[in-house]
Homo-oligomer: A and B are copies of this chain.
Amino acid sequence: MKELKQDRKSRYTRMVLRDSLVELMKTKPITKITIKELCENADINRSTFYSHYSNQYDLLNSIEEETLSWAKKSISYLMDKHDIQETKNILLEMFKSIKENSQHLQVLMSEKGDIDFQKRLFALIYEECGINLAAGEHKDEDMNESYFVFVVNGSVGLIQHWLKNGMTKSAEEMADIIYQFTFAREPNEMK
C-alpha cells in the first residue's frame, strides 16, 4: 500500500527523464546524448538517474516497451470495441496515432529511432491482426516467413520515409499504400 503511493514521485521522475530523452533525440542520435546533459535537460540530479536506469539505452528501452504495450492494447481495443476486423482500418488507426498523438512515437519511428523497435512494432501489428500474410500464396513455410520479414521491413521503411519527408501524404493514403503492397494481390482493389 505504502509502496504504491510512494511511487508518485518516482513515476514523475521517470516521466521527466523519458520526455527529456525524447526531446534530445529530436536533435541528435542517442549515441551522442550523455547522461549528464540528459539530466541537466530534465532538471534531475545525475545520481537520481542511476537509481532508475543504468544508462541511456536502458531508458530508451523502457520507453520502447511502454510504447509496444500501448500499441498492443490499442490494437486489441480496436479489434474488440468497434468490431473493425479489416486490416486496413487498423492500419489507418495506427497511422493516425503516429501522425497526431504521440510525440514519443514519432521519434521512436524516425531515423533516429531504434530499427529493431520499429520492426517489433510492425510485427506486432501484423500478428495482432491475426493475419498470416499471404497464407497459402507461397509454396512452403520458409517462403511465408521470408514474405513476413520482407513486408515488415518494407512497411517500416515506408513509414520512416513518410515521417522524414514531412508527412505530405494523409494517414488514409499511407494505409492504402501499405495495404496494397502487403495484402492486395490486385492493384486498385480499394479506394
A residues engaging B (CB < 8 A)? 31, 111, 115-116, 119, 137-139, 142-143, 146-147, 149-158, 161, 169, 177-178, 181, 187-188
By a CB distance below 8 angstroms, the chain B residues around A151 are 154
- Indicate how many identical chains form the complex: 2
CA distance A141 to B143 in the complex (A): 30
Find out whether the CB atom of B137 lies under 8 angstroms from the CB atom of A158: no
Q: How far is the CB of A55 from chain B (nearest CB, A)?
A: 11
Chain B: CB-nearest residue to A149: B161
By a CB distance below 8 angstroms, the chain B residues around A138 are 187
If A31-B31, A187-B138 touch, does A150 touch B143 (CB 8 Å cutoff)?
no
Q: How far is the CB of A76 from chain B (nearest CB, A)?
A: 26
Partner of A155, one of B119, B143, B150, B152: B150
By a CB distance below 8 angstroms, the chain B residues around A161 are 146, 149
By a CB distance below 8 angstroms, the chain B residues around A155 are 150, 153
A-B contact pairs, 28 of them (CB 8 A): A31-B31, A111-B116, A115-B115, A137-B187, A138-B187, A139-B188, A142-B169, A143-B177, A146-B158, A146-B161, A146-B177, A146-B181, A147-B181, A149-B154, A149-B157, A149-B158, A150-B154, A150-B155, A150-B178, A150-B181, A151-B154, A152-B157, A153-B153, A153-B154, A153-B155, A153-B157, A153-B158, A156-B157
Partner of A150, one of B137, B147, B157, B187: B157
